């Protein structure tokens, strides 16, 4: 235990913890995206999926673990950002101007945007802050009509705009998380640098596009 605590006091320990918590959050996001994609299959499927989640005995243990993971990711991130403040632009193994000047310096800000997004998103879709009675409407199978919540939410231009802006920032943060993962796990080699860089763009871009497809589908009337 003492060795574990000592490890997190070292820079490499913090980086490992950052990568591990980043990986867990990435897996959560991919799982959540897959669940959300059921919206394209139809309301009964999305509502059944949400019903199953809300009634799972694992819901609260899962929430508590995720809160701990997010908390650790934030604390380690702030520590590392402080450490890297002076060396960020020199230490990066990514060559582009965009990476050195935008990503490294704005990692903390995009991370805060993710936190803001989650608070806004949970207030909107889980807690129904400011919502009217339709938020609690049941569907024909007597399950919460989560499909209706999502569609009604994205028909509001202010809610939609906030989602689009925040989701783009979430995507930017994901890009850096995936790159950080590759670096910490030691995947980087001069020969593969460009390939891994493209992979990181592909993963984060794909996830972001997947989430953005939902408000867009609501605007064009596809769901």
| Cα–Cα dist 27/21, whole Å | 10
Task: Tell me if 131 contacts ligand HEM by CB under 6 A.
Answer: no
Q: From 114, 119, 83, select the one nearest 177 (Cα to Cα).
A: 114
Task: Tell me if 172 contacts ligand HEM by CB under 6 A.
Answer: no
Residue 132 Cβ, how far from ligand HEM at the closest point, in Å?
17
SS3 186: coil
Task: Tell me if 6 contacts ligand HEM by CB under 6 A.
Answer: no
**Cβ–Cβ under 8 Å, residues 150 and 125:** yes
Residue 121 Cβ, how far from ligand HEM at the closest point, in Å?
5
Residue 114 Cβ, how far from ligand HEM at the closest point, in Å?
6
Task: Tell me if 134 contacts ligand HEM by CB under 6 A.
Answer: no
Task: Tell me if 89 contacts ligand HEM by CB under 6 A.
Answer: no
Task: Tell me if 36 contacts ligand HEM by CB under 6 A.
Answer: yes
User: How many helices and strands in the chain, by DSSP H and E?
Assistant: 10, 0
Q: Which residue is nearest to ligand HEM (CB)?
A: 50
Task: Tell me if 122 contacts ligand HEM by CB under 6 A.
Answer: yes
Task: Tell me if 125 contacts ligand HEM by CB under 6 A.
Answer: yes
| Cα–Cα dist 174/211, whole Å | 13
Residue with tokens 């394209």: 40
User: Contact with ligand HEM (CB under 6 A): which of 12, 68, 115, 118?
Assistant: 118
Cβ count within 10 A of residue 94: 19
- Give me the half-sphere count of Cα atoms (radius 13 Å) on the Cβ side of residue 63: 8
Name the percent of the chain in helix, strand, coil, to the closest 5. Answer: 80, 0, 15
Residue with tokens 């997010």: 70
User: Contact with ligand HEM (CB under 6 A): which of 94, 135, 182, 211?
Assistant: 211
Task: Tell me if 34 contacts ligand HEM by CB under 6 A.
Answer: no
Is 45 exposed, middle or buried (CB count within 10 Å of its CB: 0-12, 13-18, 19+)? middle
| Cα–Cα dist 223/221, whole Å | 5
User: Contact with ligand HEM (CB under 6 A): which of 80, 169, 170, 203?
Assistant: 170
User: Contact with ligand HEM (CB under 6 A): which of 121, 139, 148, 216?
Assistant: 121
DSSP 107: H
Residue 76 Cβ, how far from ligand HEM at the closest point, in Å?
18
Residue 99 Cβ, how far from ligand HEM at the closest point, in Å?
22
- Give the footprint of ligand HEM on this chain (CB under 6 A): 29, 32, 36, 50, 53-54, 63, 114, 117-118, 121-122, 125-126, 146, 150, 163, 170, 211, 214-215
């Amino acid at each position: 235990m003492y060795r574990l605590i000592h490890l997190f006091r070292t820079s490499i320990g913090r980086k490992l913890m950052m990568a591990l918590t980043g990986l867990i959050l990435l897996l959560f996001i991919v799982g959540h995206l897959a669940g959300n994609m059921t919206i394209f299959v139809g309301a009964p499927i999305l509502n059944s999926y949400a019903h199953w989640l809300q009634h799972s005995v694992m819901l609260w243990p899962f929430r508590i673990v995720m809160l701990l993971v997010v908390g650790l990711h934030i604390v380690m991130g702030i520590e590392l950002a402080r450490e890297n403040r002076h060396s960020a632009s020199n230490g990066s193994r990514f060559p582009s101007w965009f990476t050195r000047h935008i990503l490294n310096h704005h990692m903390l800000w995009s991370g805060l945007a993710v936190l803001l997004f989650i608070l806004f998103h949970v207030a909107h879709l889980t807690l129904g802050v400011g919502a009217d009675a339709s938020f609690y409407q049941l569907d024909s199978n007597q399950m919460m009509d989560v499909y209706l919540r999502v569609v009604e939410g994205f028909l509001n231009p202010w809610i939609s705009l906030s989602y689009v802006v925040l989701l783009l920032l979430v995507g930017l943060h994901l890009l850096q998380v995936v790159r950080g993962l590759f670096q910490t796990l030691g995947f980087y080699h001069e020969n593969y640098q460009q390939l891994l860089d493209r992979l990181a763009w592909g993963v984060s871009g794909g996830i972001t596009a997947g989430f953005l497809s939902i408000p867009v589908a609501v605007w064009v009337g596809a769901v």
